[in-house]
């Protein structure tokens, strides 16, 4: 096994599937099956999920919503997605635990590094909702922060693209994929793999990132067992 403990970052938008809004049940089921598969292999899995399928703070700000309230609305959107993921995992018999970055018992337990690690050690999938609990920070930053706190081996950024490219492959057909790339080169090339706060946190704490296509069934297992897919971002 290549990794023993991982932090999986999922985007809220990916949960929409082919819909324009909300949660696509088919996509949710596919994610649940992949997560359950690797958890049953004994790999400890922490998850941070975005909320862009429901509400995005910056978009709300553009429409006149106060930025802090908009980000708080986005945090609540991540809680909705986390509960959906938790429900799906429970339905297939996968034990899991939802933690929230702001207090909202009984919806989830207030996040604590030590409690979350105990959950991982018990074989539970740990889902951490609410971002960092602070406005102006993205769920990418929350993923980096929680990954470092939980002492994971790697952050796995599940996207709809199969890695990091020289340009957006959906817009530029000449874009080529990196097998591996350093954090410094990400900066130099201006590639938007994740925001600078998150990338800096990972770089300074030597937390590698693998960007891979989560929408292809079986890819999560391939990544954690060391198959050569996706792009490794390293120090």
Predicted confidence (pLDDT) at residue 200 exceeds the cutoff of 80: yes
Average pLDDT over residues 162-185: 92
Task: For strands 209-213 and 231-234, give the pairing.
Answer: antiparallel
Q: pTM for this one? A: 0.95
**If you average pLDDT over every residue of the chain, what do you get?**
95
Specify the number of domains making up the chain: 1
Q: Which residue has 């074989």 as its token pair?
A: 123
Q: In this predicted model, what pLDDT tens digit does every residue of 75-86 receive, in sequence order?
A: 999 999 999 999
Q: Is the pLDDT of residue 64 over 90?
A: no
The CATH number given to whatever domain includes residue 230 is 3.40.1160.10
115: buried, middle or exposed (CB in 10 Å: 19+, 13-18, 0-12)? middle
The residue segments making up the domain with residue 67 are 5-234
Query: For residue 153, which of 2, 28, 10, 26 has the smallest C-alpha distance?
Result: 2
Confidence at residue 160, expressed as pLDDT on a 0 to 100 scale: 87
Distance CA 10, CA 48 (A): 6
Summarize the confidence of residues 132-152 as an average pLDDT.
97
């Amino acid at each position: 096994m290549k990794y023993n403990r991982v932090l999986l970052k999922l985007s809220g938008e990916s949960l929409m599937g082919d819909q324009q809004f909300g949660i696509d049940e088919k996509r949710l089921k596919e994610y649940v099956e992949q997560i359950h598969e690797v958890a049953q292999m004994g790999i400890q899995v922490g998850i941070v999920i975005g909320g862009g399928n429901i509400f995005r703070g910056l978009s709300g700000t553009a429409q006149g919503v106060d930025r802090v309230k908009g980000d708080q609305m986005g945090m609540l959107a991540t809680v909705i997605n986390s509960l959906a993921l938790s429900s799906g995992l429970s339905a297939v018999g996968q034990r899991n635990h939802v933690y929230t970055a702001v207090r909202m018992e009984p919806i989830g337990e207030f996040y604590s590094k030590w409690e979350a690690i105990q959950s991982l050690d018990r074989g539970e999938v740990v889902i951490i909702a609410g971002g960092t609990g602070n406005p102006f920070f993205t769920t990418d930053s929350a993923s980096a922060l929680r990954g470092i706190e939980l002492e994971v081996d790697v952050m796995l950024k599940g996207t709809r693209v199969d890695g990091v490219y020289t340009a957006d492959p959906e817009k530029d057909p000449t874009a080529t994929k990196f097998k591996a790339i350093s954090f410094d080169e990400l900066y130099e090339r201006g590639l938007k793999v994740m925001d600078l706060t998150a990338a800096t946190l990972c770089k300074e704490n030597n937390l590698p990132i693998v960007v891979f296509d989560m929408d292809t069934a079986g890819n999560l297992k391939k990544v954690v067992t060391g198959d050569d897919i996706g792009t490794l971002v390293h120090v």
